[in-house]
A and B are shown apart, each in its own frame.
Chain A
Amino acid sequence: MHDHKGWPAAWRSPELKKNYDVVIIGAGGHGLATAYYLAKKHAVKNIAVLDKGWLGGGNTGRNTQVTRSNYYWPQSAAFFDHSLKLYEGLGRELNFNVMLSQRGVLTLAHSVHDLEGMRRWANAIRINKVDAEILTPAEVKKLVPMINLDCRFPVHGGFIQRRAGISRHDAVAWGFARAASSLGVDIIQQCEVTGFNIQSGRVTGVNTTRGTVEAEKISFSVAGNTSHIAKMAGFRVPITSMQLQAMVSEPIKPCLHTVLTSSVIHMYVSQSDRGELVFGGGADVYNSYAQRGGIPLLQENVAALLELIPAFSRLRLMRQWAGITDITPDTTPLMGHTPVQNLYFSGGWGTGGYKAIPAGGDTMAYTIANDRPHPLICDFGLDRFESGKLVDEGAASGVAH
């Protein structure tokens, strides 16, 4: 009716001040959510979130939006289920429609052994008080009528978490940004952090392309740049950065009503509300900061999709892109304290940190405000690599997102 005129700004674009209580580096979902919960739950007033690009322009705006909590280890399940529960109320919390659609995530088994492993996995998940259900091939076929059960790796069944699903990633970034901004958080875009001021082991500020800022406490959540920023602060991290690709087809009528994933043929696919098929698979397995993605892996992803659903071979691929994912040795994130006093971080989210945004923000806000790890993340610290208490979630779940 208004010809799209007269939209008010969703968030303020203030000038960078000289001094803050808390500075957060990285205006992705994690940084914005951390700022929001710090202001909302811990009454911290003077917060800035700095981003070298635009907010939500990192992995938060590049992912395939899958949200689930069917993790194997109790620590992971507790954390990711907290996140899923926050997602279930997020639209209301932020007064912003994040379009959460709990259409289920169906994981396929491609051999007898695969199915046995899945039964064990599903049982562990149920003991973790998260929903998981084993499906027969006929039940899989009923849910996804277009599937080719007799493919190169025949489908022996699968399991589904029905509460899992997808949401709209831009809305999550924008919703947290708007809500944080209205609580007084300064979001400063196009402001790159180039160094830290550290005095006798304690961080006191950051250097940026817009000048120097002092802060009581600083936290960074810079997916794809964790090693780079850690190096600026003088410590090393167990992270390898790799490109993860995703791609979409041209839009078609609704035909896929769940998120279909297979760790054996390494592919997952869902259909967006616009009708596009959104799919991806494994990462390009060499160190990279290029945000492009190579052709061989793109071909593998497409081949895997067509093996499972041959009818999709007629579709055109519309877009392909990549984000840089920071992979840890046990594929569990790195959260909490750093070796530098008053410097915190949340990183190593690898290929699966979108689903973690609300819980990541909530628990990091607690950690920063109280200078002590939130109970849900006390096993996710950097110190686990020295103590040996790894949370080997990659090996346990065999799924990369």
Chain B
Amino acid sequence: MLRIRCPWCGTRDEVEFNFGGESHITRPGLDADDALWSDYLFNKENPRGVHYEHWLHKYGCGRWFNIARDTLTHEIHAVYAMGDPKPELVEKIAGD
């Protein structure tokens, strides 16, 4: 069971949240070719290690936020606001 710290409500069980997927994806311009456009639409980072992702506190405050979570250990290294850049992670992080 993931325990996720909502920036507004505090730490709650995973079942209160909806997973939103990878963060920091930038939409290319309208002049993008098919390759760039399909990369934007479909390809994923999907790392074995730290993943920057967004969650919705659906059965709580109803707000979105970002976290940096290790996909091997499920440890959450940072919680940060939507629109913020990827945080610098200081701790030694497992995975690759």
Q: How far is the CB of B75 from chain A (nearest CB, A)?
A: 11
Known: A228-B48, A287-B53. A329 touches B72 (CB 8 A): no
Q: Are B71 and A236 in contact (CB under 8 A)?
A: no
Q: Of A238, A241, A295, A296, which is within 8 A of B42 by CB?
A: A238
Q: Are B73 and A237 in contact (CB under 8 A)?
A: no
Instruction: State whether the Cβ of A3 lies closer than 8 Å to any Cβ in chain B.
Output: no
Q: Are B47 and A285 in contact (CB under 8 A)?
A: no
Binary CB contact string for chain A from 283 to 312 against chain B (1 if under 8 A, 0 otherwise): 001111110001110000000000000000
Instruction: State whether the Cβ of B11 lies closer than 8 Å to any Cβ in chain A.
Output: no
Q: List residues of A (194-237) whose CB comes within 8 Å of B's CBs.
A: 225, 227-228, 236-237
Q: Are B71 and A288 in contact (CB under 8 A)?
A: yes
Q: Of B1, B19, B35, which is within 8 A of A386 by CB?
A: B35
Instruction: State whether the Cβ of A240 lies closer than 8 Å to any Cβ in chain B.
Output: yes
- B15: nearest chain-A partner, CB-CB: A296
Q: Are B43 and A236 in contact (CB under 8 A)?
A: yes
Q: List residues of B (26-64) whose CB comes within 8 Å of A's CBs.
A: 34-35, 38-39, 41-48, 51, 53
Most-contacted residue by chain B among A228, A289, A385 (CB, 10 A): A289
Complex Cα spacing A289 to B75, Å: 12
Instruction: State whether the Cβ of B2 lies closer than 8 Å to any Cβ in chain A.
Output: yes
Q: Are B38 and A225 in contact (CB under 8 A)?
A: no
Q: List residues of A (323-369) whose CB comes within 8 Å of B's CBs.
A: 329
Q: Are B48 and A225 in contact (CB under 8 A)?
A: yes
Known: A295-B1, A296-B1. A287 touches B46 (CB 8 A): yes
- B24 contacts across to A, CB distance below 8 A: none
Please report whether the interface of chain B is mostly helix, strand, loop or mixed according to DSSP: mixed
Instruction: State whether the Cβ of A239 lies closer than 8 Å to any Cβ in chain B.
Output: yes
Complex Cα spacing A87 to B43, Å: 33
- A236 contacts across to B, CB distance below 8 A: 39, 43-45
Complex Cα spacing A237 to B43, Å: 5
Complex Cα spacing A227 to B42, Å: 13
Q: How many residues of A contact B (CB 8 A)?
A: 22
Q: List residues of A (269-292) whose CB comes within 8 Å of B's CBs.
A: 285-290
Most-contacted residue by chain A among B42, B46, B48, B51 (CB, 10 A): B46
Q: How far is the CB of B59 from chain A (nearest CB, A)?
A: 13
- A286 contacts across to B, CB distance below 8 A: 2, 19, 53
Known: A289-B48, A290-B72. A385 touches B41 (CB 8 A): yes
Q: Are B34 and A287 in contact (CB under 8 A)?
A: no
Please report whether the interface of chain A is mostly helix, strand, loop or mixed according to DSSP: loop
Binary CB contact string for chain B from 64 to 82 against chain A (1 if under 8 A, 0 otherwise): 0000000111100000000
Q: How far is the CB of B94 from chain A (nearest CB, A)?
A: 11
Q: Are B2 and A386 in contact (CB under 8 A)?
A: no
Q: Are B44 and A296 in contact (CB under 8 A)?
A: no
- B15 contacts across to A, CB distance below 8 A: 296
Q: How far is the CB of A265 from chain B (nearest CB, A)?
A: 17
Complex Cα spacing A387 to B41, Å: 13
- B38 contacts across to A, CB distance below 8 A: 385-386
Q: Are B44 and A385 in contact (CB under 8 A)?
A: no
Q: How far is the CB of A252 from chain B (nearest CB, A)?
A: 29
Q: Of B43, B45, B74, which is within 8 A of A290 by CB?
A: B74
Q: Are A296 and B14 in contact (CB under 8 A)?
A: yes
Complex Cα spacing A237 to B46, Å: 9
Q: Are B14 and A386 in contact (CB under 8 A)?
A: no
Q: Are B19 and A240 in contact (CB under 8 A)?
A: no
Complex Cα spacing A385 to B36, Å: 11
- A237 contacts across to B, CB distance below 8 A: 43-44, 46
Complex Cα spacing A286 to B20, Å: 8
Q: Of B46, B53, B73, which is within 8 A of A227 by CB?
A: B46
Q: List residues of A (368-401) whose CB comes within 8 Å of B's CBs.
A: 385-387
Q: Are A289 and B42 in contact (CB under 8 A)?
A: no
Complex Cα spacing A386 to B14, Å: 35
List 20 A-B residue pairs with CB atoms under 8 Å apart, sorted by A's residue number: A225-B48, A228-B48, A236-B39, A238-B42, A238-B43, A239-B46, A241-B71, A285-B19, A286-B19, A286-B53, A287-B22, A288-B71, A290-B72, A294-B1, A296-B13, A296-B14, A385-B42, A386-B34, A386-B35, A386-B38
Nearest 6 CB-CB pairs, A to B?
Answer: A238-B42, A227-B46, A236-B43, A286-B19, A386-B38, A385-B42
Binding site for B on A (CB under 8 A): 225, 227-228, 236-241, 285-290, 294-296, 329, 385-387
- A240-B21, A241-B48, A285-B19 given; 15 more Cβ-contact pairs under 8 Å: A236-B44, A237-B43, A238-B43, A241-B46, A286-B19, A286-B53, A288-B74, A289-B71, A290-B72, A290-B73, A290-B74, A385-B38, A385-B42, A385-B43, A386-B35
